[in-house]
């Protein structure tokens, strides 16, 4: 299960699809995606890691999606729809996509993108094609539920499904049939969006794989309460008779947060999942293995034990630890993913049971350079303490940028970093960190695009426990230059990656 390419050591770049350059407000699966793959090739990289690609809900977080299976319609490239004759250039340019090329304005996207996609849908002749029929059949497990769910969302003014009329809130078969007939046109629109997303995604992935680039996908361990998954599979979650959560997910108080983190995701009913052989998880992982080469499971610690917070609480202070499924789930995952590989986000308090499960599965865990310099030479995140079966990151989407973090250190804290890296100036720390990661024994090295460009914290992706200003950063066209590719390629060559 060791994460490695056919040639062993490797390196890659974390860049969300949303952060690709675009003239239409958000990154998409068109020319700039292929251009980024060309950059990876020139830079000697082997991996492109993306954040979750599902349709985002309130707050715009890719970790709070309307579906654990669907793709984000925002990522459908309008230019390709123009080439297909489904849109005109004038139609694509008619909307206000925002003035700042480094920012995603989600409010403008919500107001305009679906209108544009409806225009393309109205001209499409995809219904009678073999490709569309095959797509619907191969995704039957989730597609109809998700598309009806989205049609219902718009029918009921985007209210969460818990506020829908009782008969459809409870997913009663007769009500599902009635609404499916009533909203057939709108449901077909959402199927069209999924068809186009995966058509475009498939071409991007094929181009990447043909050129030696593997896609690392990211899946949250939990799903959003307001999602097709919880609506259509309520028995798999800890819900009461009214389908409201009994307890929700989060993490307990620590030195960083006196109240802990209240995520609010519904918790799985692991006993019910085990009774049906973890079928939902097998479906999810098989689907993920079909669209990614490597699957990163977020918050893997929750597989061993999870923190359960009473749903009525306003902080995470009164939660309790509960046992997770552990090896039963990972064995089910292993049976479903075929040749795809898995890496796990094992950050946080790693109890012995987590280490034991990692050893059993062979899944590589993560090392974070930003966490390495606060507790002396025994810190497990320092490069000299790495093991081969690990993936080293400069930081994650939840952290500051490397430049933003290390250039702001006071003189005392910076001294150990400079001594460790063998540099004299604080401004040389970010580049030296990248070199140290490439030189380490860790089998895989991943840096955010912001960090290979040494961008400040204005390019940060997410500030945890905040809402409204996250997940917005984008690359500008031409920002990843030939010079940057040459510098990375030199590190790849020097350190046999």
Report DSSP letters for 7-53, one per residue: TB-EEEEE--GGGS--SSSS--SSHHHHHHHHHHHHTT--EEE----
C-alpha 173/C-alpha 32 separation (Å) is 43
Residues in the chain, how many? 497
Active site residue 345: yes
Please choose, from the candidates 446, 443, 491, the residue with its C-alpha nearest in 3D space to the C-alpha of residue 5: 443
C-alpha 31/C-alpha 78 separation (Å) is 11
Degrees (nearest 5) of the Cα angle 278, 340, 471?
A: 85
DSSP for residue 95: S
What b/e string do you get for 354-363 counting C-beta neighbours within 10 Å, with b at 16 or more?
beebbeebeb
Active site residue 186: no
Do residues 136 and 143 touch, judged by C-beta distance below 8 A?
yes
Catalytic residue among 298, 313, 331, 380: 298
Catalytic residue among 84, 105, 353, 398: 398
Catalytic residue among 229, 345, 346, 451: 345
* Alpha helix ranges (H) inside 13-165: 31-42, 78-83, 89-93, 106-123, 130-138, 143-155
C-alpha 396/C-alpha 412 separation (Å) is 25
Q: For residue 297, list its beta bridge partners.
A: 219, 344
Do residues 314 and 262 touch, judged by C-beta distance below 8 A?
yes
Active site residue 313: no
CA atoms within 13 A of residue 65's CA, in its CB half-sphere: 23
CA distances from 85 to 90, 113, 127 (A): 12, 17, 16
For the annotated catalytic residues, the residue numbers are 298, 345, 398
């Amino acid at each position: 299960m060791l994460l490695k390419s056919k040639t062993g050591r490797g390196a890659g770049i974390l860049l969300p699809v949303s952060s690709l350059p675009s003239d239409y407000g958000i990154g998409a699966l068109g020319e700039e995606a292929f251009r980024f793959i060309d950059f990876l090739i020139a830079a000697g990289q082997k991996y492109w890691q993306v954040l979750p690609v599902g349709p985002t809900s309130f707050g715009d977080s890719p970790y709070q999606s309307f579906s654990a299976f669907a793709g984000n319609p925002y990522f459908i490239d309008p230019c390709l729809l123009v080439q297909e004759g489904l849109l005109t250039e004038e139609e694509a340019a008619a909307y206000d996509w925002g003035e700042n090329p480094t920012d995603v304005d989600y409010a403008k996207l919500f107001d305009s993108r679906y209108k544009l996609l409806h225009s393309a849908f109205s001209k499409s002749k995809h219904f009678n094609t073999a490709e569309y029929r095959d797509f619907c059949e191969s995704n039957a497990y989730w597609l109809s539920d998700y598309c009806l769910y989205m049609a219902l969302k718009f029918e009921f003014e985007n209210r969460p499904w818990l506020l829908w009329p009782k008969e459809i809130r409870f997913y009663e078969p007769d009500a599902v049939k009635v609404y499916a007939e009533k909203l057939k046109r709108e449901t077909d629109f959402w199927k069209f969006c999924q068809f186009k997303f995966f058509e475009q995604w498939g071409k991007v992935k094929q181009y990447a794989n043909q050129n030696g680039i593997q896609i690392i996908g990211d899946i949250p361990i939990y799903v959003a309460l307001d999602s097709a998954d919880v609506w259509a599979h309520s028995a798999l979650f800890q819900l009461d008779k009214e389908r409201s959560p009994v307890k929700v997910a989060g993490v307990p108080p620590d030195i960083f947060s006196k109240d802990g983190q209240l995520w609010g995701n519904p918790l799985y009913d692991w006993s019910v999942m085990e009774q049906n052989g973890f079928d939902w998880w097998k479906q999810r992982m098989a689907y993920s293995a079909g669209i990614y080469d490597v699957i990163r499971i977020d918050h893997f610690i929750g597989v061993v034990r999870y923190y359960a917070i009473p749903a009525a609480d306003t902080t995470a202070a009164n939660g309790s630890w509960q046992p997770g499924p552990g090896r039963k789930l990972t064995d089910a995952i292993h049976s479903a993913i075929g040749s795809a590989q898995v890496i796990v986000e094992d950050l946080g308090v790693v109890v012995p049971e987590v280490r034991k499960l990692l050893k059993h599965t062979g899944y590589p865990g993560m090392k974070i350079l930003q966490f390495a310099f606060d507790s002396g030479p025994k810190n497990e995140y320092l490069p000299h303490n790495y093991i081969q079966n690990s993936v080293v990151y400069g930081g994650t989407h939840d952290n500051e940028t490397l430049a933003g973090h290390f250039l702001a250190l006071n003189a005392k804290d910076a001294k150990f970093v400079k001594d460790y890296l063998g540099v004299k100036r604080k401004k040389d720390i970010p580049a030296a960190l990248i070199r140290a990661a490439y030189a380490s024994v860790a089998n895989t090295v991943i840096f955010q695009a912001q960090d290979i460009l040494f961008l400040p914290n204005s390019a940060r992706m997410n500030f945890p426990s905040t809402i409204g200003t996250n997940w917005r950063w984008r690359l500008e066209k031409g920002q990843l230059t030939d010079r940057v590719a040459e510098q990375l390629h030199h590190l790849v060559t020097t350190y046999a990656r």
